[in-house]
Amino acid sequence: MDTVTIGAKGISVSLDLAVGHVAAMQVEAEGRILQPLHRAPWVGSPRESLPENLSEGTVRLSGDFLCAPFSASDVEAAPLHGWPANSEWDIVERGAIADGWRAVFRLRRKVMGAAVDKVFTLRDGHPFLYQEHIFSGGSGAISVAHHPMTGMQGGGRLAFSRKRVAVTPATPLEPDPARGRFMLAYPARATDLAQFPLAAGGITDLTDYRMEDKREDFITLIEADHGGPGWTAIARRAEQDLVLVLKNPAELPVTMLWFSNGGRDYAPWSGRHLGVLGIEDGRAAIGHAASLGDNWLKHEGVATAFTLGEGRSVSFRHVIGAVPLAQAEPPASVETHRDRMRILSAGAAAKDVPFDGEFLRIGRSVPA
Q: First CA to last CA across the chain, in angstroms?
A: 37
Contacts with 291 (C-beta within 8 Å, 6 or more apart), sequence order: 69, 70, 141, 143, 284, 285, 304, 305
Q: What would the CATH number be for the domain defined by 3-46+62-354?
A: 2.70.98.10
Supply the pLDDT for residue 346. 79
Segment 190-200, tens digit of pLDDT: 999 999 999 99
DSSP H helical ranges for 103-198: none
Segment 130-170, tens digit of pLDDT: 999 999 999 999 999 999 999 999 999 999 999 999 999 99
Segment 47-70, tens digit of pLDDT: 999 999 999 999 999 999 999 999
Contacts 24+ apart (CB under 8 A), 168-175: 168/217, 168/218, 168/219, 168/220, 169/218, 169/220, 169/286, 172/199, 172/216, 172/217, 172/218, 173/216, 173/217, 173/218, 173/263, 174/216, 174/263, 174/264
What is the Cα–Cα distance from 147 to 55, expressed in whole angstroms?
16
The per-residue DSSP string of 243-280 comes to EEEEE-TTT--EEEEEEEEB-B-STTTTT---SEEEEE
Segment 14-34, tens digit of pLDDT: 999 999 999 999 999 999 999
HSE-CB of 103 using CA atoms within 13 angstroms: 18
Q: Is 53 exposed, middle or buried (0-12, 13-18, 19+ CB in 10 A)?
A: exposed
Confidence check: pLDDT of 365 > 60: no
Contacts with 46 (C-beta within 8 Å, 6 or more apart), sequence order: none
Segment 237-286, tens digit of pLDDT: 999 999 999 999 999 999 999 999 999 999 999 999 999 999 999 999 99
What is the Cα–Cα distance from 35 to 150, expressed in whole angstroms?
9
What is the Cα–Cα distance from 61 to 23, expressed in whole angstroms?
8
The strand pair at 32-34 and 100-107 is best described as: unpaired
Whole-model pTM: value is: 0.96
What is the Cα–Cα distance from 258 to 188, expressed in whole angstroms?
16
Per domain, the residue ranges of the chain are: 3-46+62-354
Contacts with 71 (C-beta within 8 Å, 6 or more apart), sequence order: 80, 81, 284, 286, 287, 288
